[in-house]
Chains A and B, each alone.
Chain A
Amino acid sequence: MPNRRLEAGAVAAFFLLGWRRAIAEPAALTGRLLLYLLILAIFRQLWLATPLQELGPDAPTAADMLWYVTVTEWIVFAAGLPYRVVEDQIRSGQIESALLRPLPYAAATLAEWSGATAFYLLVMGGAGTAAAAWLTGTAPPTAAAAPLIVASGVVGCAIALLCQLQLGYAAAWLGTSAPLFWIWQKLLFVCGGLLLPLTLYPPALRGLAEYGPFAAILFAPGSLILAPAGTSVAGILGRQVAWFAAIALLTVAVDRAATARLSRRGV
């Protein structure tokens, strides 16, 4: 067990490294914040100009829609595009240095990303909430559920980071991760309900998307802020946790396959 304790200490050090690195890069934070706030401002105008009431008596208001986008974009911007780090390390061969350390590469990488993402979640969560409250002039529709939304957002980000680690590893086979990443990202935006809650999708697509992994990343925390009647919070969180477990297992398999391939073929 002493090795497990050593590993836990090292993982904590990598988490802190990611957190500090995010603090030390104010330009990256400023860029993300400006784009996030700009998107909220644009969508505020867009939803005001959209006759949402035509969707029916239970239709969300423009303010509800903006709060939903505030949550989904919060996750997208907090997670960022860290897959590129793994892709670059594989392509440049720098991954060799990381593989020479007595700590699994995937654990160190995920810990560092988690540190940075935690920082962005905190700062952008505060900024997003303030901006959405100011733009809509309302409090979040389900302010009491804030701790659940934060927990769900954290799980959503964790799933996104696991997926991005797998996408980064794709460079071990393809030499690049970009093609797979673009496909994954578009599926995330569409099937995850980045801009529109899945409840507004045509029934067939909704049924397909709602139980998929992409919805666990974005729609799950987003739907908690709207929490329409009949929503099962336990069901949403349960699906998220199930997807987290499934994708974590897949990540372990991809990690093993990628490191085995790199050790067979070299970098």
Chain B
Amino acid sequence: MTAILVEQLSKSFRTRPPPAPGLARLRSVLRPPRAIEVPAVAGISFAIAPGERVAFIGPNGAGKSTTLKMLTGILRPTAGHAEVAGFVPWRQRLQLARRIGIVFGQRSQLWYHLPVASSFELLGRIYGLERGQQRTRLARLAETFAIGDLLSRRVAELSLGQRLRCEIAAALLHAPAILLLDEPTIGLDLTAKAALRDHLNLLSRADGTTILLTSHDTGDIERICDRAIIIDRGRLLMDLPLERLRRDFLKQRTVTIVTEQERPALGLPGITVTAAEPHRLTLAIDIAVASVEQAVSAALASLTVRDLIIENPPLEDIIHAIYRGAKEGSHAEPPA
């Protein structure tokens, strides 16, 4: 059983090249240039099981939002098939809308001129919630997303962070089985992002909600998701658990050792000293040659270690390396 099934989904848009300046422009009015097909999504396939939290990652123009729009039914694919909650989105858009929650970070589903509570009331009517049911859900969402104080305020008066918390709560009001999030933390400051991720994480784990999330922010992905689907130029590059993404594409680790010795030194094949400061040594370990365990053992054997910090390169570096690899034609290159 799948929550979301995508098979060879493709979408291309017809577009005309911009007219040339001057007299050529006049000619193009009389005889418009031939429209060309620009592929946005080119035959991607994946399946998501109920309760999975999946990151849908890709650079700008990769086709993330286009795919998400096809999965909500507001965009019809050029080819391929998809099912969301058992519905074919573009044929059963209205029925599907009752089963999914959607947040497009740059679009609002709330009514700007209304107080937040009235927007929720209207959404409750749209989704056919009974009053008692709606009150209970709203109370829970208000607590989870800390929006109790915002309910009496007009949507237009909210800050971006406050509005986004309200948007996500609104998307969850009808208890959807599937939540589609397109850049949900875009424009938020660090504190607001962290709070929103925590709220979302808590709620999805408690209710078993399936999440498909697109974001440029790897923090969103790391905190919320456990699987990543990576696309670039409309094509699927990778579909793997986040843990495996790290394991397979992590070729280097950083170990920082704080020592009693003022000038610590350590030499092993595959280990490079990237920074040497008084009482502190930062090492880059090429894990194809040496392991972190070897480095730590060597440090413990020859130095008096006060502290030890083992770091992975940021997920962002891993993903950028995958994109670079895709552009250069190879499957993927590990991060430097």
| A, B bound | yes
- Let me know if A93 is at the binding interface, CB within 8 A: yes
User: Shortest CB–CB separation between residue A98 and chain B, in angstroms?
Assistant: 8
User: Shortest CB–CB separation between residue B123 and chain A, in angstroms?
Assistant: 8
- Let me know if B111 is at the binding interface, CB within 8 A: yes
Known contacts A21-B113, A93-B107: A102-B125 contact under CB 8 Å: no
Known contacts A17-B111, A265-B14, A266-B69: A100-B74 contact under CB 8 Å: yes
User: Shortest CB–CB separation between residue A112 and chain B, in angstroms?
Assistant: 10
- Let me know if B324 is at the binding interface, CB within 8 A: no
Query: Complex: how many Å from CA A263 to CA B113?
Result: 28
Number of A interface residues at 8 Å Cβ cutoff, please give it. Answer: 28
| Nearest-neighbor residue (CB-CB) of A95 within chain B | B74
Number of B interface residues at 8 Å Cβ cutoff, please give it. Answer: 28
Q: From the candidates B13, B109, B114, B125, name the one contacting A97 in the complex (CB within 8 A).
A: B109
Contacts across chains A and B counted by CB atoms under 8 Å: 64
Query: Complex: how many Å from CA A9 to CA B72?
Result: 23
Known contacts A102-B95, A104-B94, A265-B13: A24-B113 contact under CB 8 Å: yes
Known contacts A24-B113, A94-B107, A266-B69: A103-B126 contact under CB 8 Å: yes
Mask: chain B, 13-26; 1 = CB below 8 Å from A; 0 = not: 11000000000000
| Nearest-neighbor residue (CB-CB) of B122 within chain A | A13
Query: Complex: how many Å from CA A100 to CA B128?
Result: 15
User: Shortest CB–CB separation between residue A100 and chain B, in angstroms?
Assistant: 5
Known: A96-B69, A103-B94, A104-B94. 8 other contacts (CB 8 A): A2-B128, A3-B95, A17-B114, A96-B74, A97-B107, A100-B74, A102-B94, A266-B13
26 A/B residue pairs, CB under 8 Å, sorted by A: A3-B95, A6-B127, A6-B128, A9-B125, A10-B126, A10-B128, A13-B125, A13-B126, A17-B111, A17-B114, A96-B69, A96-B104, A97-B107, A99-B74, A100-B72, A102-B98, A102-B126, A102-B127, A103-B126, A104-B94, A262-B74, A263-B73, A263-B74, A266-B13, A266-B69, A266-B75
